[in-house]
Each structure stands twice: as C-alpha cells, then as structure tokens.
Structure 1
Amino acid sequence: MDTDRQRSVWNRYAPTYDRQIAFFERVQFTGGREWLGARARGRVLEVAIGTGRSLPFYPADVDLTGVDLSPEMLAIARRRAAEEGRAVALVEGDAERLPVDDASFDTVVCALSLCSIPDPAAAVAEMRRVLVPGGRLLLLDHVASTWPPVRAAQWLLERVTIRTAGEHFTRRQLPLVEAAGFEVVEVERLKAGTVERIHAIHPNRVHTE
C-alpha cells in the first residue's frame, strides 16, 4: 500500500481508532506505552504519533515532537495534548522521509506503527538519521509469533489486513534495527512472541548508563 492510500486509511480510521485500540492495549500490549515513556530522554521524536496515546506516559521534562502521516489523527493528538496540559510540536509528515534535521533528537519512539509503514527499513534508516550519536531508539510493535500455529494464523489474517489497511502481522523489526547499525541493548518478546519491545542505541556513542 502506497503512502497516499495509507494516509487515506488512517484519516478514515481516526474517529474510531482510540475506541478500537484500547482493548488491544489493555490485553495484548499491556504496559507497552509505559515501557516506552520510562526510557525516553531529552529531545523526543515520536514517529507515527497517531492520536497521541503515548502522551500521558512521557516524563514531564522531555521536549516532545510528534510526526504523523494523517492530519485527522494529528487533530485528535492536538486535543489530547491540550487536555493533558502537554506541550508537544505536532507535524504532518511521512515516517520514510521525516521532516526534521539530522541528529536533532536524543530519543526516537515508534509505537505500533512499523507494522503498517510501507517501507519499514526506510523508516528505521530515517530514525537513525535524526538521532544524535548515542541516542535511543524505542520500539513497540506486534510481530510474527514464536509459536508456529499462531504465526500461521497471523499469516492468514494479513492476507486481508495488508490489502485493506496496509497492516502486517508477520513482520519483525529487530533485524531492521540491527541492519541499520544500532546497538540493541534491551529486547522483550511477550504474548506468545507476538509483541516485541526494543531499546537500541545509535552507533558511535559513549554510553554512560
């Protein structure tokens, strides 16, 4: 699915997205956004921020920017930020061509989105570009299960979801992160291996923690 179609899909889903995803975040992705927020530091860029569901979990002292392809999703994120009293710069843009400068962020976060970005390798390369050396990459997503029967069911499901929403269930982001040269410092696989959390560091760094 190309970028224009993807934008159209997320614009259409925006009004009902929070209601639809809330159940899955409670049951499948439990604690995932809290995990991301606890590791975010400094100047933070959230790629594919969507409706801003991660906003309540970021530390108060981070300088937060969010990018999303969908103006309708960003409108909801803007309202959520106002309700939370959270200062955040929200920018319409493509994860594969981020509208920000090189080496301008200390942390890049992407939650539940590389599964549907048309070219996830390009998006990860962009995340590396905009991170400072030593910066943190924090990812949360659903991935191909470690259990063959579940993985087979995921494969069948995505025969529909790839066509209708560009959403993949048998991708895995870790090999892309490694191929981009990041140093992976923390990985968690949960829920029969269908959920993965990744904390990686931009190369050429001096890590003091």
Structure 2
Amino acid sequence: MAVNLDDAELRRRWDRYAGRYDRDIGVMERLQFAGGREWVCGQARGEVLEVAVGTGLNFPCYPAGVRLTGVDLSPAMLELAGVRARKLGLEVDLREADAQALPFPEASFDTVVCTLGLCGVPDERVAVAEMHRVLRPGGMLLLLDHVGSHHRVLRFGQWLLEKFTVRMIGDYQTRRPLPLLAPAGFEVTRSERRKLGTVERVAAVKCPGPAS
C-alpha cells in the first residue's frame, strides 16, 4: 500500500473521528470481536501498558489490581478515555504518545496490551520492537486485531477495503502481527484465529536476551 499518512495527519483524523468511534465500532464489537477484549485484558498483570488505548473500551475488562498506563496518538481519544476511567472509578495514567516511539525506559512494564491498534500504526514492526523494549524479561504481550484472512476471496475483499480505510484513517485490513513476534524476540504461547481468519488473538512472552 503506497499511501502513508504522517503522525500529524493521523492525529488530526483520529481527533475528528473520536466522537463517533464507539458508536461506529459497536456492531463490529458484537459480530467480529466479541469476547476478544476480555480474552486479552483478562490475562494482564502487574504494571500494564495499553498501546493505542483509544476511548478506553478495554478498561472494564482488566482484572483488579493492575496498574494501568495508556497511550494514544490522539488527544481527543485520550480525553474520552479519561472520562470513561473516571466513570469507572479507575486510576489510569493517560499520555499522548506514538506507538513507534514509546516514552518509557526499557523494561518498564510486566504486560503490554494492544487491541485493534497495530492495524493503524504506519510501521507495525517498529511498534512491536518498542513493545518488546519496554517489557521486562518474561513480560507478556497481548494482542487482538483484525488480520488478513487465509481465504483468498475474503482477503481480496479486505484488500479492496484497505484502499479506502488506509486513505481515511491509516487503517490496514490485511496485516497480521503474529509473524513479526518471533523475529522481535517474543515466544508465542497462545494464539486463536477466528471469523474466517479475519480476527486473531495472541499471547506472547518476551524471551530472555536481545531480539534477533
């Protein structure tokens, strides 16, 4: 895909879209991603970083006792996440940040969570490397995303849709993060592919030593 929006343009577009996001994704939550947020967030522990926290839809799914930090490129999305956190009585450290340049030292977190986020990062390999960097050895990476289907006809439809969604909000339909994890220094411990191969849930741990 030739079109790549820079961070400033992505921020502007997501800021404009923030107020409609929860409503627009509601149907997809029920039909395509049902149970995914609970699967991912329910495994989180300790110091947790959520990358691309959005409007905070994951907040009700975290177990008690986690200490949550959330980052997002869009200030408008973060504002809505803050409102949701306050309504739920949660303390969440929310920061504006780029997934490709996380503003944290190495080995800062026990868990990194990213749901429906890597599809919208300009360079998902860099974002995965950053998630690896900020995790402690043995820390857990938990992902949920829509991915390119293994069914040819369906994947072709995703490819056509991608021509529109990338230009609109930088959202890729045919990516698949799982193959990027081992080269980045993760060991996949569990993965589930659903909905004709269009949705994937992944749990992985940071291997000891540097990434290959």
Q: Normalization by structure 1: what TM-score?
A: 0.96
Mapped to 2, the partners of 1:31 and 1:8 lie a distance apart of 30
Question: Runs of 4 or more off by more than 6 Å in structure 1?
Answer: none
Match of 1:23 in 2: 27
Q: 1:179 aligns with which of 173, 183, 197?
A: 183
Residues 1-209 of structure 1 correspond to what in structure 2 (within 5 A)? 1-204=5-208
Q: Residue 52 of structure 2 aligns to which amino acid in structure 1?
A: A
- Give the CA deviation at 1:181: 1.5
Deviations 1:94-125, CA, capped at 9 Å, x for gaps: 00000112101000000001001001000000
Matched residue SS, 2:120? coil
- Give the CA deviation at 1:171: 0.6
Q: Residue 77 of structure 1 aligns to which amino acid in structure 2?
A: A
Deviations 1:151-180, CA, capped at 9 Å, x for gaps: 010001111111121111111101111220
Deviations 1:57-112, CA, capped at 9 Å, x for gaps: 00110000000000000000000000001111001100000011210100000000
Mapped to 2, the partners of 1:127 and 1:10 lie a distance apart of 22
Matched residue SS, 1:201? strand
Q: 5+ residue gaps in structure 1?
A: none
Matched positions, count: 205
Alignment RMSD: 0.9
Mapped to 1, the partners of 2:92 and 2:130 lie a distance apart of 20
**196-205 vs 46-55, which deviates more?**
196-205
Q: 5+ residue gaps in structure 2?
A: none
Mapped to 1, the partners of 2:182 and 2:173 lie a distance apart of 20
Mapped to 1, the partners of 2:105 and 2:185 lie a distance apart of 20
Matched residue SS, 1:184? strand
Mapped to 2, the partners of 1:173 and 1:98 lie a distance apart of 18
